[in-house]
Structure 1
Amino acid sequence: MDMRMNRRRFLGGLAAAAAVTSTPSLLAAATRRPNIVVILADDLGYGDVSSYGAKDVATPHIDSLAKQGLRFTNAHTDAATCTPSRYAMMTGSYAWRKDGIAVLPGDAKLLIDPQQATIASVLKSAGYTTGLVGKWHIGLGDGTIDWNGEIKPGPCELGFDDAFFFAATADRVPTVYIHNHRVVNLDPADPIHVSYKTKIGNEPTGKEDPELLKMKLSEGHDGTIVDGISRIGWMEGGKSARWVDEKMAATFTGKAVEFIDRNHDKPFLLYFTPSDIHVPRAPASEFAGKNTCGVRCDVISQLDWSVGQVLAALKRNHLDENTLVVFTSDNGPVVNDGYDDGSDRKLGQHKPAGPWRGGKYSIQEGGTRVPFLLRWQGTVKPGVSDALISQVDLLASFAALTKQAVPAGSAQDSQNMLQPLLGRSAAGRESLVEEATVLAVVEGQWKLVDRSERPGIHTKPETGGLNEKSTRQFWGQPAYPTAPLELYDLKADPYELHNLASEHPEIVQRLREKLQKTRAATR
């Protein structure tokens, strides 16, 4: 209480001094280094949030960010799948620049070189205390992971002071939490072993023992059964460390709130990455069965609760006006993604991607155009922005906000978008590149999909989940596109139904040259 009182007196003194001297810089000093909270949802679509048009599920806490801050309508992830999009946001570099970035298995090697700049390392150099809570999925270790010893390099080697996370996704082994470098609650007498190549151990699997499942399969995900749900890959051991799916949201949210409470008196970065609404969808009892659009909407409600808890922690610690909050998603939506949880049958009139075509795995706008909300009370005026924004820009923008230089040779695709992010400019990026199995470039109202430009990644991992053909058919897209070049006017044709490439060859040529130039560029 004394600390908060002293802080209020300090800020009040600055305000009084500014009033006397009419020097705006004194007021600016009070908010020169705001706390930064980035909340990155998983597989949440543009149309899954009430403030972006959802009718059948309510998201009041997420919507409060829209009411009190800026709602961006033209914000994008780098890729239509999670590992590349998370890599790009964290490093400020398009993932397709690095060979072999795919949706990783749970035992994959760390993708980011510890010498490479990240959002966390840049803010740490500015004096921030940095924390990760939630899903990681950018790899761990240097090739072989000893789950029973120190697990490094990882988030802590990339700039995070404290990290409570799991390695990949909730549908992959190992199904354990990690704190900094060690598995949480691991019994040394019951060591963990993991394989993504062949079955290990004698534990039941979804393929061999489907009668033990509490969640049926639709495709893949037939490895080791943990907590009644079979996963991608096989594991044995670590029984005391295994999570309970229905408690995961509360566990991660509680750790995020603890981080805020523990660091409220100093500048901090909280990178909060809930597992929701990724499969397997296993909401806590207070959210299960509450929405007419099925369990997928139930976990949207659970995600909204998590956001509300974080916002309440900021308010309780009197940090609302000194915290910049970003809420977004790692890629577009998916409905049936390997578990037969009824989401596709109960979707009803709900449109996960909103007005856009496609979703997760697809090059259409629904794959990368996502909710993006920014709140900084007292600094950012509430409203709506149509500025073209990419998540890859967060690194350079946060560096500018905290007066840090972007390290040479890093973040080559990140642009300083601080002015549009703070609502001080309507002009965002001139263009950006989108990634799925192919690349596309967006500039203004125009979008060119160039199917000859392949980033060299896979839309799905080596086992489990829907393949590209079935996913494309679900979203109402042809399974095998025939046009090598597709040009769309997103303003007139947001659903990308009318290929205008033959009608505007000059635009095709210009955008194709821009895409090729971007691919070749380094700085």
Structure 2
Amino acid sequence: MKKILMLGEIIVTLLIIFLSAPAIAADKFSRPNILLILTDDLGNNDLASWGDGSAPTPTLDALSRQSIRFRRHYTDSTCSPSRAALLTGREPVSIGFQANGLGLSADLDTLPKSLKALGYHTVHLGKWHIGEALEYPNIQPSFHGFDYWFGMLNHFVLRGLGPDGGILQRQPTHVNPWLQENGAAPKQYKGSLDDLLTSKAIELISKPTQQPWFINLWLFSPHTPYQPSAEFAARFPATPEGKFLAVLAQLDNNIARILQALDTSGQADNTIVVFASDNGGPSYARDNNWPLQGVKATYLEGGVRSPLLLRWPVHFLNADISAATTIMDIYPTLVELAGGKPPVTIDGQSLVRVMQGKPLKEQVYLFSAAENGNQDMVYGGRSLSDSRLFYRDTYGAVTSATLAPAIPTAPVSSVVVPFDKTQAQRLIKDWEARVRKLPLTWQPAKPSHSGILTGRDFQRAPVFAGYTLGLSLHGATLPESDITLVEQAGVWHVQLLADHRLRVVHGQVEQFSAPITEVNACNRLIVSMKINPEYSFPFPAPASAKLTAYWNDRQILDGSTLLQRPTSVEVLANPTFIGSRTDGSQAFPGEIGRPIVINKYLYPNQESYGLDDLRGQLCMSGKN
């Protein structure tokens, strides 16, 4: 009898624990639907309940009251890196977005891939902006885990194709946009862009389905230009601020429409709704980010903090979380809530623990970086342990500030202990050493074949932005015949010629170094490139390129001949052969250690991670 009573007590105790703990889905029949709404340039002050109360956002304020509110949520400072970070759960610099990137490599885990593996039907609607190579179909959503997509590859193509029928990037528009469906040719649609996207989401929500669904709704509001429809424009003054407030009111109405569709279809209780923004606002028409200082495209608080809401009725209710979170955390959080296990290789962490009232493992530092148009970078760093930040701007000046506390607490005026430039450089250098080295698959050379590098196809070759390859050449001698050090068919190759010059071929362009005159037991070869395509909008700039090469401590090549990425994306998947041609000929007679590929253009005396740092990693003990 006593055993029966004890067994009963155990069952009751387990039942209480089960009922009191937030549910995590166990199988595809119980998995929740997921609606992820990402807005564009929406700052903290663009929700009334998060800012000064002037934003016309009653629906979003009601959603906020029903949600888990992440009050110290960090993004990147511009569109592309934040979106890449959200979708992959990785630091954007590590996957080539700084700020722009070529596209996502096929071997990266993504949120829709992980949800698809759990039985979800995956949909992307709206702006993409994860990849500049619009001519490559592989940058499109369907190559990264989405079953269906409808929208635009970026906001600069909303006015349609150019006069020659080709891609032409121009001033964006919210009115009568040209949109694509599953990669087909763009078509023009009548109406307001976000109204159209919301209607498509409602159409999909209203269709009965046997699968749980994931709808990735990336709206364009409240990004410039401010073009509210006539119905909403009539409610506000015809001023810049009035137009912006009308845009917010129209955005709020679209959120109301889609939440009503969830209610009407009976799916609201079993749908996780996430609302977020890709970065802070630009504060063109009003202060988008109050009480935070700074704007979009800076690494001050206002540029990289925005609201994050998560609602799952019954499971997670009205609550505030003040711990620092990042946009990388959304991916693992949603996968865990859906009953899956997030990939262990990503940088984001699941927030389910903190949503359940348990402590969150907070990061000590947060870093960001973006190219500044020349050889250098713009950096931001945050020390969460002592609430300080630094921002290294385009001109190399370092600004320090205090981190703002969790919203809605007003920032406290305080004297910040500034980061000196040397300290900021050291922190950035240590971070870059960790995130810029590509985790490629290396197959060391054997008698039957050369060494081979594979993986990260959109970063492994020098075709976009900064790139550096470092080789440790053991047992080298000055050759009597041509030898090949690097070859990726259709992309580029590097030879050491019989006349002791280096020959670098990139596409149809070949460049030659000065003769190499000395060899050591181990020789360090570094080839660094920076390839910038032509931009027509928003910041017109001609195409440019830079190629430098170093043999040990001597620069042997300095070229600026224009280099272009391949017209065919398929060649980027070709393996990179190290130490011979693809057929095994022109083999290097010594041994080549594991190559190091850094996704940055390097040069001497660089303030952050630079050429001297890579040199120090080559010709170390061990060859593979």
Same fold (TM over 0.5): yes
Provide the residue aligned with 1:126 in structure 2. 118
- Superposed, which structure 2 residues align to 1:14-413 within 5 Å? 22=15, 28=23, 33-77=31-75, 79-99=76-96, 101-103=98-100, 109=102, 111-139=103-131, 144=135, 151-169=137-155, 172-176=156-160, 192-195=165-168, 241-244=187-190, 246-263=191-208, 265-292=210-237, 293-336=241-284, 343=285, 347=286, 351-407=287-343, 410-411=345-346, 413=347
Amino acid at match of 2:235: K
Contact kept, 8 Å, 2:131 with 2:139, in 1: the verdict is: no
Amino acid at match of 1:270: I
Per-residue CA deviations over 1:230-269 (Å, capped at 9, x if unaligned) read x9xxxxxx8x92345x521211110111121125553111
User: For 1:225 and 1:441, how far apart are their aligned partners in 2?
Assistant: 35
- Superposed, which structure 2 residues align to 1:444-463 within 5 Å? 444-449=385-390, 451=392
Alignment partner of 1:501 out of 418, 442, 451: 418
Distance of aligned partners of 1:226 and 1:353 in 2 relative to their CA distance in 1, 3 Å threshold: closer
Q: Secondary structure at the match of 1:386?
A: strand
User: For 1:424 and 1:514, how far apart are their aligned partners in 2?
Assistant: 33
Amino acid at match of 1:144: E
User: For 1:506 and 1:374, how far apart are their aligned partners in 2?
Assistant: 40
User: For 2:209 and 2:255, how far apart are their aligned partners in 1?
Assistant: 17
Contact kept, 8 Å, 2:82 with 2:278, in 1: the verdict is: yes
Per-residue CA deviations over 1:457-488 (Å, capped at 9, x if unaligned) read xxxxxxxxxxx8xxxxxxxxxxx673x36253
Per-residue CA deviations over 1:248-303 (Å, capped at 9, x if unaligned) read 12111101111211255531111111111111221111111423531111111111
Deviation, structure 1 residue 385: 1.4
Instruction: Name structure 1 gaps, 5 residues minimum.
Output: 1-17, 146-150, 177-182, 184-189, 197-220, 232-237, 337-342, 455-467, 469-479
Contact kept, 8 Å, 1:364 with 1:496, in 2: the verdict is: no
Q: Which has the higher relative contact order, 1 or 2, with Cα contacts under 8 A spaced 6 or more apart?
A: 1
Instruction: Name structure 2 gaps, 5 residues minimum.
Output: 1-10, 179-184, 371-377, 440-624
Q: Tell me the TM-score normalized by structure 1.
A: 0.67
Determine which structure has more spread, i.e. the larger CA radius of gyration: 2
User: For 1:138 and 1:325, how far apart are their aligned partners in 2?
Assistant: 23
User: For 2:417 and 2:14, how far apart are their aligned partners in 1?
Assistant: 59
Distance of aligned partners of 1:127 and 1:25 in 2 relative to their CA distance in 1, 3 Å threshold: farther
Deviation, structure 1 residue 396: 1.8
- Aligned pair count? 404
Bigger mean CA deviation after superposition, 81-90 or 67-76: 67-76
Deviation, structure 1 residue 130: 0.8
Q: Tell me the TM-score normalized by structure 2.
A: 0.57
Amino acid at match of 1:164: F
- Superposed, which structure 2 residues align to 1:424-439 within 5 Å? 424-425=357-358, 427=360, 429-431=362-364, 432-435=366-369, 437-439=378-380
Contact kept, 8 Å, 2:24 with 2:338, in 1: the verdict is: no
Q: Secondary structure at the match of 1:131?
A: strand
Amino acid at match of 2:402: Y
User: For 1:430 and 1:225, how far apart are their aligned partners in 2?
Assistant: 39
Contact kept, 8 Å, 1:74 with 1:389, in 2: the verdict is: yes
Distance of aligned partners of 1:59 and 1:430 in 2 relative to their CA distance in 1, 3 Å threshold: same
User: For 2:266 and 2:410, how far apart are their aligned partners in 1?
Assistant: 45
User: For 1:29 and 1:80, how far apart are their aligned partners in 2?
Assistant: 32
Determine which structure has the larger helix proportion and give its number.
1
Q: Secondary structure at the match of 2:36?
A: strand
Provide the residue aligned with 1:235 in structure 2. none
Alignment partner of 1:414 out of 322, 331, 348: 348
Contact kept, 8 Å, 1:387 with 1:428, in 2: the verdict is: no
Q: Secondary structure at the match of 2:231?
A: coil
User: For 1:62 and 1:262, how far apart are their aligned partners in 2?
Assistant: 25
User: For 1:519 and 1:498, how far apart are their aligned partners in 2?
Assistant: 32
User: For 1:227 and 1:268, how far apart are their aligned partners in 2?
Assistant: 29
Q: Secondary structure at the match of 1:74?
A: strand
Amino acid at match of 1:396: P
Distance of aligned partners of 1:45 and 1:450 in 2 relative to their CA distance in 1, 3 Å threshold: closer
Deviation, structure 1 residue 195: 3.8
Distance of aligned partners of 1:81 and 1:140 in 2 relative to their CA distance in 1, 3 Å threshold: closer
Determine which structure has the larger strand proportion and give its number.
2
Q: Secondary structure at the match of 1:37?
A: strand
State percent identity of aligned pairs: 27
